[in-house]
């Protein structure tokens, strides 16, 4: 039993039957009508768009017994032999299997003989880019000045591989991918002629899967009819090999937009092995959506690849993603497609696809860098500007004596930043330790002494550090007081000095300067530990030679940092350097299990600002 596939059975026999290539057919018909037929033509375009068919129709029109004519009669001996594939004066050569220079020399010898029966001897070389360099060079002279009875017709899918010396000797005709509407219209005609009772939407789904190739569409139709019979349904198309349906792609993208990871895994096609094809289809879909977003629904680049209904659905998802995020999603999927390419990764194509899409479910994974910078600047401005204006932070902490105390600023949560603060000169250093810095984002205010003497906290002469980097901790010498001025007490904050609103949580029976000195000394050893201590530690006045330092509400990372050998050593060394001899530090951990960031008001504010998620 002999069966002729649909792609061959319904191959166009006249220019009017060629779908979607009006520019090419009008050019060829015009060349015949105006008697401006060249000696060499090069057809190029994607697979299945009609390159070889157009070349054969052109040769048929040139040799028709009633021509040359722009519309072959289809009844003369020449037309009949062309349709049957038995024309002796049409020499078709497959360059993929005839790549050598010897084949071209044979062709050149044949060109010297006149046609047997036709008007012209036509050489049709398919996949011409496969010829070797020597073969191309051997063809150049004959191609530039062939005998008057010879015509050269070339077809290729990769024009860039054809030497420029060959391209410049030909008239180049580009065939475009067919639109879904054009493919669907042709399929409807074929199904009607074949007596196929297809459900509405079957031809549309086949046209989408064909991706611009009429031959691919007819081959898929053949496969579907062999699979389900003469009454195919839309659901049957999902059983075809290759990419998933448009509904599957849109379901996956909707899950990405919603951040629904379980829904995403359920929406992915269950068939394994088709991941590259599914990813290619998703990339095509998102590319069209990006063009719609940036150019509009009437973008000319979409006219040949998507129907009106498909453009409407793409536009909706393009608006949901936004142009910036859409570009970043495309970049991530392109990287995933590259990772699927190597042979050793093909077995893990499913894993690559799933992990990439799951990562895209997190909005922060595809947040544009410009938006990140804007949000960080807004956060930084709030951190620096809030305390200076006296506005309270999002949450309030509690000190040991029951009084309210502001939560540390966001900058301190990220890492210790200190502005310069005065330190006593060695000559006037009191036995009690004095601070060298305060771990805060803003400088402490400077107030003049009531008697008009030199301020106790003169402004530092160093330039203010950049807001984009951590504030260095520096030691500044305090100017010597005038003669006769009584020495400053070793305990208690300096008179006339404003205490920053981001003061550490220290109990009232602890010396403020001693605490600040400890934080500054600890920051020299570990800025991260200094930030943790400033936010979550309390130093109690020593009793019996022991000074308890209580840490409360530590997260898992902070607990590991404090309890590590290096962390304890740094804390003890800093305390020993600022407390003097005879006092032993005792580190106490309280409520470490409640140190989750989820209950921190500031962390919640940052999460809302960056639209993020708190994990762990």
Residue-wise pLDDT for 209-268, tens only, equals 887 889 988 998 988 898 888 888 887 887 776 556 677 888 889 889 888 888 888 888
CATH of 180-239, one of 3.30.230.10, 3.30.460.10, 1.10.8.60, 3.30.56.10: 1.10.8.60
pLDDT at 457 over 70: no
Cα–Cα distance, 258 to 361 (Å, whole number): 7
Q: pLDDT grade, residue 191 (50/70/90)?
A: very high
Cα–Cα distance, 602 to 555 (Å, whole number): 14
**How many other C-beta atoms lie within 10 A of the C-beta of residue 185?**
16
pLDDT at 161 over 60: yes
pLDDT, tens only, 491-520: 444 444 443 333 334 343 446 777 888 888
For the chain, what percent of residues have pLDDT higher than 70?
A: 69
For residues 305 and 212, the answer to whether their CB atoms sit within 8 Å is yes
Ranges of CATH 1.10.8.60 domains, the chain: 180-239
Cα–Cα distance, 278 to 281 (Å, whole number): 5
Residue 172 token pair: 């180049």
What CATH superfamily classification does 6-174 receive?
P-loop containing nucleotide triphosphate hydrolases (3.40.50.300)
Higher pLDDT, 485 or 154: 154
Ranges of CATH 1.20.272.10 domains, the chain: 246-366
Which of 302-316, 510-524, 572-586 has the lowest average pLDDT? 302-316
Mean of the pLDDT values across residues 95-99?
A: 79
Give me the torsion for CA of 523, 526, 530, 536, rounded to 10°: -170
Residue 67 token pair: 């021509």
pLDDT, tens only, 117-133: 888 999 998 889 988 88
For residues 577 and 423, the answer to whether their CB atoms sit within 8 Å is no
pLDDT at 480: 53
Mean of the pLDDT values across residues 472-480?
A: 42
Q: pLDDT grade, residue 96 (50/70/90)?
A: confident
Measured at the alpha carbon of residue 229, what is the angle toward residues 223 and 233, in degrees to the nearest 5?
85
For residues 461 and 552, the answer to whether their CB atoms sit within 8 Å is no
pLDDT at 42 over 60: yes
Mean of the pLDDT values across residues 587-614?
A: 63
Place of tokens 């012209």: 120
Mean of the pLDDT values across residues 356-378?
A: 76
**Is CATH 3.40.50.2300 the classification given to domain 246-366?**
no
Instruction: Please tell me the pTM assigned to this model.
Output: 0.52
Pick the closest to residue 31 from 52, 57, 5 (CA basis). Answer: 57
Pick the closest to residue 248 from 303, 204, 307, 205 (CA basis). Answer: 205
Mean of the pLDDT values across residues 434-454?
A: 39
Q: pLDDT grade, residue 300 (50/70/90)?
A: low
Which of 51-55, 491-495, 570-574, 603-607 has the lowest average pLDDT? 491-495
pLDDT at 41: 94
Ranges of CATH 3.40.50.300 domains, the chain: 6-174
pLDDT at 473: 38
Residue 465 token pair: 């550090």
Mean of the pLDDT values across residues 65-78?
A: 86
When the pLDDT of each residue in the chain is averaged and rounded to a whole number, the result is 74
Pick the closest to residue 530 from 564, 500, 558, 501 (CA basis). Answer: 558
């Amino acid at each position: 039993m002999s069966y002729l596939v649909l792609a061959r059975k319904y191959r166009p026999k006249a220019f009017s039957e060629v779908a979607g290539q009006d520019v090419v057919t009008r050019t060829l018909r015009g060349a015949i009508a105006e008697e401006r037929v060249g000696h060499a033509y090069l057809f190029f375009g994607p697979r299945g768009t009609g390159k070889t068919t157009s070349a054969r129709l052109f040769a048929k029109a040139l040799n028709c017994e009633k021509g040359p004519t722009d519309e072959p009669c289809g009844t003369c001996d020449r037309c009949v032999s062309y349709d049957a594939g038995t024309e002796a004066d049409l020499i078709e050569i497959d360059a993929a299997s005839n790549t050598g220079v010897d084949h071209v020399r044979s062709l050149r010898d044949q060109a010297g003989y006149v046609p047997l029966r036709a008007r012209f001897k036509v050489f049709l070389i398919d996949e011409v880019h496969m010829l070797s360099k020597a073969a191309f060079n051997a063809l150049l002279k004959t191609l530039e000045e062939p005998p008057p009875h010879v015509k050269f017709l070339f077809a290729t899918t990769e024009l860039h591989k054809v030497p420029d010396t060959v391209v410049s000797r030909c008239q180049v005709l580009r065939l475009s991918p067919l639109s879904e509407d054009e493919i669907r219209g042709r399929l409807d005609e074929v199904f009607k002629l074949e007596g196929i009772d297809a459900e509405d939407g079957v031809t549309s789904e086949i046209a989408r899967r064909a991706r611009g190739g009429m031959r691919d569409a007819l081959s898929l139709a053949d496969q579907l009819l062999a699979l389900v019979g003469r009454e195919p349904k839309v659901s049957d198309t999902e059983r075809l090999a290759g990419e998933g349906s448009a509904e599957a792609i849109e379901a996956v993208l909707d899950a990405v937009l919603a951040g629904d990871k379980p829904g995403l895994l359920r929406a992915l096609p269950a068939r394994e092995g088709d991941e590259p094809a599914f990813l290619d289809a998703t990339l095509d879909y998102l590319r069209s959506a990006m063009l719609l977003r940036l150019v509009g629904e009437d973008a000319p680049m979409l006219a040949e690849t998507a129907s009106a209904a498909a453009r409407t659905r793409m536009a909706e998802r393009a608006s949901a993603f936004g142009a910036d995020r859409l570009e970043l999603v495309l970049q991530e999927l392109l990287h995933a497609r590259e990772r699927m390419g190597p042979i050793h990764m093909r077995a893990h194509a499913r894993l690559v696809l799933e992990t990439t899409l799951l990562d895209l479910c997190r909005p922060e994974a595809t947040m544009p860098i410009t938006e990140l910078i804007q949000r960080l600047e807004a956060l930084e401005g709030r951190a620096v500007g809030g305390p200076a204006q006296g506005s309270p932070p999002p949450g309030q902490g509690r000190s040991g004596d029951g009084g309210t105390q502001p939560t540390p600023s966001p900058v301190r949560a990220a890492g210790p930043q200190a502005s310069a603060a005065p330190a006593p000169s060695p000559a006037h250093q009191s036995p009690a330790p004095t601070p060298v810095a305060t771990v805060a984002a803003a400088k402490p205010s400077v107030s003049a002494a009531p008697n008009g003497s030199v301020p106790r906290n003169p402004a530092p002469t160093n330039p203010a550090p950049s807001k984009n980097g951590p504030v260095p901790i520096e030691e500044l010498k305090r100017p010597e007081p005038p003669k006769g001025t009584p020495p400053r007490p070793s305990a208690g904050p300096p008179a006339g000095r404003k205490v920053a609103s981001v003061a550490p949580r220290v109990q009232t029976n602890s010396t403020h300067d001693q605490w600040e000195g400890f934080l500054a000394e600890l920051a020299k050893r570990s800025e991260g530990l200094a930030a943790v201590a400033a936010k979550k530690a309390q130093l109690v006045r020593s009793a019996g030679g022991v000074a308890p330092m209580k840490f409360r509400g530590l997260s898992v990372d902070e607990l590991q940092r404090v309890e590590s050998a290096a962390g304890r050593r740094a804390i003890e060394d800093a305390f020993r350097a600022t407390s003097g001899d005879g006092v032993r530090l005792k580190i106490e951990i309280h409520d470490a299990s409640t140190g989750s960031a989820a209950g921190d008001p500031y962390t919640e504010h940052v999460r809302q600002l960056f639209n993020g998620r708190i994990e762990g």
